[in-house]
Structure 1
C-alpha cells in the first residue's frame, strides 16, 4: 500500500535526523527511512568532532544541552606546524564564545535518532532499504523501499532527500553528477584512557560550568597527528603517506606511539591504555555530488565527503540539513514549486563549502604545504588576528576568500619576511 508524506528522508544519521526534526517543526509530515534495525547504531569511522561552525545549528534544533548531557565536551582547536603553535582559545562562556564539541558517535547518533523518532510528524521506518526512485518524467516523486518483511512499499513525497552517506543509494539511483578524487594518506585512530597533558594535568577541565578541553592538530608536513579529548576517553589519530600504509599496519600501536612520542607539546602517554580497536582508513576518496535534481536533494555525506583530516563531516551534516530546510520548508507548507527552493539550497551549499572542498581535496593528495600555506601558518604564530582567521577557516566558519583577503595576505607576507630575517 502506498504511503504518502511531505518529505521522505533516506538515512537516519546525523543529517537525516536533523532535517527530519526541522521539517516536522514546520508541521510537515516526514517519513525517515533507515536501513539499520538498531536505534543505537552509529558511524564508527569518525573522530567525533563537531566544528564550532555547526554549534548554532545544534542550538536552533534545541539540542545543545542534550549533547552536553550525553557527554559532549566543549572544545577549541590548536594547530602546530614547523613554524610553531597557532593557539587563540576563545572557549569562554558568553555571547562571543566560540567552541565546538567532542562527542562520541555512539552517544550522538542514538541521541539524534531518538529525538527524531519522538518528534511529532516524524515516522521512522527501521530496517528499510531503498530499491527504486519514483518519478513523474524527470522529477523524483518518492521512493520504493523494501521493509523488514521483504515487502516493497512505495512512498510518495513532494520532496525526496538522500541522507544515506558517501555510498548513497539515492544518489546512485538518481544518477547525479559525481566527482571523486583519491587520497594520498593512510590514517588510523583509536580511543585511549589515561592520556594526560605533557604537564601531567587532565585534558578535560571540569568545574561549575560545562566540561572543556583543547583539541590539538599537528601538521608535521607531510605526516599529521591529532588528539581529541572526549568524555572519559581521548581519540588519538595519525596520518602518513599511503606508501607507508603496509609498514604502519604491521603494528598500529607502535605506529601511533612512534608518532606521538616526537610531537612538540604532545600528550603524556606513560599511563595511557587503548580501549578500542583501531579504525584504519586504508582507501578513501573525496566525493562531490551535485546536491539537487528535480524533486530531490542530497545532504550530509551523500552530497559531499571531504578529507577526514579536518573533522568537518558532522558539522557539514548538521549545516546542510539546516540549509535544505531553510530553503524548502516554507515552499512545502505553502504549496509553492520546489525547483527555485532547491536551486537556492544548491547555491548556498556551493557558496559555503565549495572552496573548502577544493582545498581539502587538493591537500588530501598527501602533498606538503605550499608557499602560501607556509606564509600563513608562520604569520599566524605571531599575529593574533591572522591566527584567528586561520582558526575560523579551519573550523569552517569562513571560506578561503572570506578568511584571507588581499590586505591580510600582504600583512602575513610582511610578517613572514620579518620573522625569517630575525
Structure 2
C-alpha cells in the first residue's frame, strides 16, 4: 500500500466517505481510514430531508440506498403541546421524498461508493495515534493497523471526519468557537410493528419537558428518540437499571394524551436502548495549516433538528471546491481556511442557532403557543416552518411570514 497521498481522511462514515468521493472525482489521491470495520452501527440521527436526498441522487448513490428497502416519506406531524403542524416538506431541488436509512446500510454503501472512485484507497481497522508535522503544518498521520503494526502515511492535507469527539480536532489544536450545552438527555430505540397514522411521516412531539421524535427507517423498523431533562437524576438512574421499561414509562407519562404513547406500547423493541447523557451544540475552527474538519467534528447539533447528514454532504462539496480553487495549498492555508469557514458558516449556522435554542429546557410562552397554532392553520406559515429543515428557506422567512399574517390580522381588526 502506498504511503503518500494528497488527502488523508480520518473517519469513513458519511462525512468522510462523501468527502473521499468528491475528492476522488476531482482527481486527488485519497486515503480514507477508520478504526471500525464495516458494516458498523453508530448512535446517530440518520435522517435525510429531501434536499439531502437530492445530493445523494447527484452522487449517484441514491439507488443503492433505496435498494435496501428503506421507506421514504414526505410528511411531517409536529405536536407542540396542543398545537399541531401537519403537512408535507416543500419540494427541494426536484425531490419530494425524505429518507431515514440505518447507519449499518448507509455507511457501508457510501464507503463502497467512494472506494469505487479511482484514486481512493480505504483502510479499515486503523487507529490513529498522532499527527505528523513539519513545523506548524500537519503532514500526515501515524497509527496502528488491523494487524497491530505501527505505520504512518503522509499527505498534503489531513481531514478529521471522526465525529463529535474528534481526535484529529484535538491533535490539530482547532479552537472551539461556540458551545451551548444541552439541558436534555437523549435516548434512541428501534421498534418493530410500530404503526403510524396515515401515510409514513416524521413525528415530533414536545409536551411539557418531554420531547420525542419518530422516523420510519430500514429493516421494517421505526426509530424513536426520547429526550427529557438532564436534571432528572432518578430517571437517568432508572434508565441504567431498566432501559426499556423506563423508556416506555417515560413515553406513557409524557405523551399519554396522544396516540403516540399507545402505538409505541403495541410495538416491540428491536435491539438495545442507547443514550447520550448530555452534549454540547458546538462549532469549531474549520481549517488550519495542513488540516481541516468536516461533519460532527466541525459542528455537532442537537439531534432534534436533524441536520447532521445534510451538513456532512454539503461540507464534502464545499471543502472540495475550496481545495480545487487553490493550486498551491502550502501558500494558501489562511485563504482556504477563511473561505471554507465562511461557506460553512453561511450555509449551516442558522440551523445551528436553532439547535442551540431547542436544546434549552425553557417553558413555552403563551406568545409562542399562539404562533405555533398560527403555523398549524396557515398554509404559507406551515410551508415556511417545514422549509427551514430542508433549507428551502431560512428562519428569517418564517419570521417574515408570521409577521405578515399578524400584521394583516391587526389591520383587519382595525377595519
TM-score by length of 1: 0.86
Compare 384-393 and 249-258 and name the one that shifted more: 249-258
Deviates more, 1:326-335 or 1:80-89: 326-335
User: What is the RMSD computed on CA atoms of the aligned residues?
Assistant: 3.0
The answer for unaligned runs of 5 or more in structure 1 is: 204-212
Shift of 1:173: 0.6
Q: Equivalent residue for 1:275?
A: 270
SS in 2 for 1:268: helix
Write the distance in 1 (CA, Å) between the matches of 2:392 and 2:262.
Answer: 28
2:8·2:155 contact (CA, 8 Å) conserved in 1? yes
Post-superposition CA distance 1:247-267 (Å, at most 9, x none): 252522322344443226766
- Give me the TM-score of the superposition, normalised by structure 2: 0.87
Aligned positions of 1:207-218 closer than 5 A: 213-218=200-205
Does the C-alpha gap of structure 1 residues 106 and 327 become closer, same or farther in structure 2, counting only changes over 3 Å? same
Q: Match for residue 98 of structure 1?
A: 96
Describe the shift of the 1:222–1:189 C-alpha distance in structure 2 as closer, same or farther (beyond 3 A): same
Separation in 1 of the partners of 2:386 and 2:126?
41
How far off its partner does 1:69 sit?
Answer: 0.9
Give yes or no for the alignment of 1:243 onto 2:231.
yes
State the partner residue of 2:34: 34
Q: Give a deviation string over 1:81-134, Cα, whole Å, max 9, x none.
A: 235222221588x97443321111111111112222232211111221222222
Matched position secondary structure for 1:256 = helix
**Which digits, 9 at most, give the CA deviation of each residue in 1:12-38, with x for residues without a partner?**
0110000001111112110011111x2
Q: What is the Cα deviation at residue 71 of structure 1? A: 2.9
Alignment of 1:154-169 (within 5 A): 154-169=152-167
| Counterpart secondary structure, 2:231 | helix
In 2, Cα distance between equivalents of 1:412 and 1:240: 33
Distance in 1 (alpha carbons) for counterparts of 2:411 and 2:353: 31
Change in Cα spacing, 1:51 to 1:246, as seen in structure 2 (3 Å) is: farther
Deviation at 1:7, TM superposition (A): 0.9
Which residue of 1 is the match for residue 59 of structure 2?
A: 61
The answer (yes or no) to whether the contact 2:295–2:311 under 8 Å persists in 1 is: yes
- Tell me, in whole angstroms, the C-alpha distance in 1 between the residues paired with 2:272 and 2:410: 46
Distance 1:50 1:239 in 2: 21
| Cα gap change, 1:295 to 1:17, in 2 (>3 Å) | same
- Which structure 2 segments of 5+ residues have no match? none
2-structure distance, mates of 1:419, 1:145: 69
Residue 90 of structure 2 contacts residue 386 of structure 2 at CA under 8 Å; is this kept in 1?
A: no
Return the alpha-carbon distance in structure 2 between the equivalents of residues 384 and 187 of structure 1.
32
**CA 1:180–1:95: 2 relative to 1, 3 Å:** closer
TM superposition shift of 1:306 = 0.8
Classify the secondary structure of the residue corresponding to 1:381: helix
State which of 387, 397, 404 in structure 1 corresponds to 2:398: 404
State which drifts further: 149-158 or 355-364: 149-158
CA displacement 1:109-168 (0-9 Å, x = unmatched)? 111122222322111112212222223332222222332344433322222211011111
Q: CA deviation at 1:67?
A: 1.4
- 8 Å contact 2:184–2:229 — kept in the other structure? yes
User: Which digits, 9 at most, give the CA deviation of each residue in 1:186-205, with x for residues without a partner?
Assistant: 2222111111234xx6x5xx
Q: Distance in 1 between matches of 2:141 and 2:378?
A: 53
2:85 equivalent in structure 1: 86
| Cα 1:131/1:334, change in 2 over 3 Å | closer
Displacement of 1:46 in angstroms is 1.7
What is the CA–CA distance in structure 1 between the aligned matches of 2:40 and 2:120, rounded to whole Å? 19
Give the conservation status (yes or no) of the 8 Å contact 1:4–1:156: yes
Aligned to 2:344: 349
Matched, 1:124 2:112: no
Equivalent residue, structure 2, for 1:141: 139
2:20 corresponding residue in structure 1 = 20
